[in-house]
């Protein structure tokens, strides 16, 4: 009987696997169609100076206007996009919207999220600079957000690209800092303008893990201070979190306390 039950269970398991595989294939086909129709749109979320709430710039966040399911956030499709490589095409479509918006917007800088995959292609920096130029936008107002994974991938190549971009005024921010490898030895070797402290630490500042989060955020801020790197707290939702960040010496913040991601209009 135990064997029979095991058999049933594995049949159920096979069924679930098949359903999941079909779902992913459908999603990938959908994504290809969406690329042909350019069904993507950046939403913008303000990044502010914590001391007075002044808006310094915005992060551009990818949204897919799905024909049946409505607007989708990256969590719904980024895995498929990364695995299939389609995320690169999606990003380029999105970046074009962003640089066009940048030309007409008076609101400080805009940062775009760059998948680690882009650093595998040698011409990423040149291609981005060409796109900015063609849109008639100011490269000094565009920033790129990359993760620690990208730094570890192929350090010499990434360094070369970041330097090309920086020479033209495109500064680099390190996203989700503290969640990756946080290989400190790497940090000072790359031209990094700002560290974005991951939202899990900011959330912890007024939760049960308050003491640990405080210690971690304090350590990150000390490190950044020593290296002359600016800091941005991500996911600031409460005044309490803002106050603690300010006290600890964090300069900038981003989160629902200041504004949700919204369409350009």
**Residue whose tokens read 């779902």:** 23
CA distance 183 to 153: 12
CA distance 220 to 86: 34
* Closest to Mg ion by CB, 30 or 87: 87
Residue 145 touching Mg ion (CB under 5 A):
yes
CA distance 67 to 86: 18
Which residue stretch of 10-18, 119-127, 138-146, 252-260 sits at the interface with Mg ion (rule: CB under 5 A)?
Answer: 138-146
Cβ neighbors of 65 (< 8 A, separation 6 or more) are 39, 40, 41, 71, 72
User: Which parts of 212-251 interact with Mg ion (CB under 5 A)?
Assistant: 234
Minimum separation from the CB atom of position 196 to Mg ion (A): 5
Residue 175 touching Mg ion (CB under 5 A):
yes
Q: Give the residue among 123, 120, 108, 127 at the shortest CA–CA distance from 146.
A: 120
* Closest to ligand C2E by CB, 6 or 263: 263
Minimum separation from the CB atom of position 115 to Mg ion (A): 11
User: Which parts of 101-120 interact with Mg ion (CB under 5 A)?
Assistant: 113
CA distance 6 to 4: 5
Residue 148 touching Mg ion (CB under 5 A):
no
- Structural contact between residues 152 and 186, judged by C-beta atoms closer than 8 angstroms: yes
* Closest to Mg ion by CB, 145 or 148: 145
Which residue stretch of 11-19, 140-148, 216-224, 241-249 sits at the interface with Mg ion (rule: CB under 5 A)?
Answer: 140-148
Q: Which does 110 bind (CB under 5 to 8 A by kind): Mg ion, ligand C2E, none?
A: none
* Closest to ligand C2E by CB, 66 or 228: 66
Residue 49 to residues 99, 117, 171, 180: CA-CA distances in angstroms? 23, 31, 18, 25
Contact positions toward ligand C2E, by CB under 6 A? 45, 61-62, 73-75, 78, 87, 91, 94, 113, 115, 145, 175-176, 199, 234-237, 254-256, 261
Task: Please provide residue 156's backbone torsions phi and psi, each rounded to the nearest 5 degrees.
Answer: -60, -40
Q: Please work out the total of residues on this chain that contact Mg ion, with binding judged by CB under 5 A.
A: 5
DSSP string, 78-94: HHHHHHHSHHHHHHHHH
Minimum separation from the CB atom of position 212 to ligand C2E (A): 19
Residue 91 touching Mg ion (CB under 5 A):
no
252: enclosing H helix or E strand: strand 252-253
Which residue stretch of 69-77, 92-100, 137-145, 187-195 sits at the interface with Mg ion (rule: CB under 5 A)?
Answer: 137-145
Residue 194 touching Mg ion (CB under 5 A):
no
């Amino acid at each position: 009987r135990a064997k029979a039950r095991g058999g049933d269970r594995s049949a159920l398991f096979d069924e679930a696997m098949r359903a999941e595989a079909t779902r992913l294939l459908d999603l990938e086909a959908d994504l290809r169609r969406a690329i042909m129709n350019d069904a993507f749109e950046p939403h913008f979320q303000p990044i502010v100076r914590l001391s007075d709430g002044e808006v310094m710039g915005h992060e551009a966040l990818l949204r897919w206007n799905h024909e049946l399911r409505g607007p989708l956030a990256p969590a719904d499709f980024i895995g498929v996009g990364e695995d299939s490589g389609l995320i690169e095409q999606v990003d380029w479509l999105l970046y074009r919207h962003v640089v066009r918006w940048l030309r007409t917007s008076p609101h400080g800088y805009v940062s775009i999220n760059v998948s680690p995959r882009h650093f595998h292609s040698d011409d990423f920096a040149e291609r981005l600079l060409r796109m900015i130029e063609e849109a008639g936008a100011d490269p000094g107002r565009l920033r790129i957000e990359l993760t620690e994974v990208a730094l570890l991938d192929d350090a010499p190549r990434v360094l070369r690209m970041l330097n090309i971009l920086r020479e033209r005024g495109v500064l680099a921010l390190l996203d989700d800092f503290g969640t990756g490898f946080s290989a400190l030895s790497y940090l000072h070797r790359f031209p990094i303008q700002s560290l974005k402290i991951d939202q899990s630490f900011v959330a912890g500042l007024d939760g049960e893990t308050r003491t640990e989060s405080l210690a971690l955020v304090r350590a990150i801020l000390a490190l950044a201070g020593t290296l002359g790197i600016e800091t941005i707290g991500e996911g600031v939702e409460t005044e309490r979190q803002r106050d603690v960040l300010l006290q600890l010496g964090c300069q900038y913040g981003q989160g629902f306390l200041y504004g949700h991601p919204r369409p350009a209009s």
